[in-house]
Amino acid sequence: MASLVSISVPNIVSDISTYNRVEIGRADSETDATSRTGTWSSIGYQTLVANVGTYEYTDNDGTSVSWYSYRLNNSSTGANGSYSAPAPGRHFGYIGVAEFREYELGDLTNPDGSEISDNKIRQIVKVASSLVDSYVGYTFDHRSSTEKHRWNQGTRRIYPIHRSIISVENVRVYVSAQQSAAFTVNDIFINSDRGYVEITSLANVTYSLFPAIVALGMIEPVVEITYTHGASVPPQDIKDATALIAVELLARDSLAKQGLQAISRLRVGEMEIYSNEAGQGGSRAKRDPSAAIPLAATLLLDQYIRPVIK
């Protein structure tokens, strides 16, 4: 998802005589952003403007685990200021404002003729991205999640909620509040295509769990899994679907502001315009009338829906 980085230059009046831009860096953790090591890297610059002390920088490759720090910089002399304290970015969906505008979909003007602001587009894209997640049942954002599932001793497979599993940090099977068995990454096989994690060490499963299960009489132990999933850049289909939904939301908002939201059909001469009703989308929308997502978007998203395995 795109991230918005807030930049503050409180002493802009004096600083602009020495520096002409701000250098922004990104890391996958607060620790790396603080030390500027590991996953930290410089990602871009924000030009300083006289008497302007606050800026917003859009990172189209930002994720929910991204942390940022920045410093003043002079592109000519190479002079640098001190780095700021690290802070997480604000997330605004699967596409940035510039990306959305490049689609050139719909009319990006308000009823009064003024151009729709970047901030409004960010908010609309954020809602559209949430609708994408709700429709398919999981997120495409790059993040770490911890979940609890019913442990299946027969298959030894765990089906996490989110797809595109990148890595598994921890798996622990609880047979009581006090007794559990932990498994290392060497005991785990990840099948990202099928969306499951399997415990491959039969010896660990048998000797770690069986005595506790027998002693306590537990029928359904619980497995807790912590894993990283998603992608730094979402699939193009997801970006396209987000853009289509955002255009639909903007169109509905424009109609509402003109008092036309209740109109389902409009006839002008020989031309008739119909408004899509809720539930007229793809397979998910047919089952759930509340899923009012444009048909074109559902055709892109249906391939990502998978059955829930418990």
Q: Pick the range with the lowest mean pLDDT from 89-93, 119-123, 157-161, 298-302.
A: 89-93
191: burial class by Cβ within 10 Å (0-12, 13-18, 19+)?
exposed
pLDDT at 289 exceeding the cut of 50? no
Mean pLDDT computed over 100-105: 90
pLDDT for 299 equals: 92
- Over residues 39-79, the pLDDT tens digits come to 999 999 999 999 999 998 888 787 767 899 999 999 999 99
pLDDT for 207 equals: 45
pLDDT for 279 equals: 46
Tokens representing 259 are: 């008092």
| DSSP letters spanning 251-264 | HHHHHHHTT-TT--
Q: Pick the range with the lowest mean pLDDT from 175-179, 186-190, 247-251.
A: 175-179
Mean pLDDT computed over 159-166: 88
pLDDT for 278 equals: 47
Q: How many residues does the chain have?
A: 310
pLDDT for 275 equals: 58
CA dist 168 and 163 (Å) reads: 12
CA dist 43 and 20 (Å) reads: 17
Domains of the chain: 3-91 (2.60.40), 97-139+233-304 (no CATH), 143-229 (no CATH)
Residue 142 identity: H
Residue 193 identity: D
Mean pLDDT computed over 24-32: 91
pLDDT at 291 exceeding the cut of 60? no
- Over residues 247-265, the pLDDT tens digits come to 988 888 777 776 665 556 6
Looking at every residue in the chain, the average pLDDT score rounds to 82
- Over residues 117-146, the pLDDT tens digits come to 888 988 899 899 989 998 998 888 877 889
Q: DSSP class of residue 208?
A: I
pLDDT at 21 exceeding the cut of 60? yes
Question: Quick one: what percent of the chain has pLDDT higher than 70?
Answer: 80
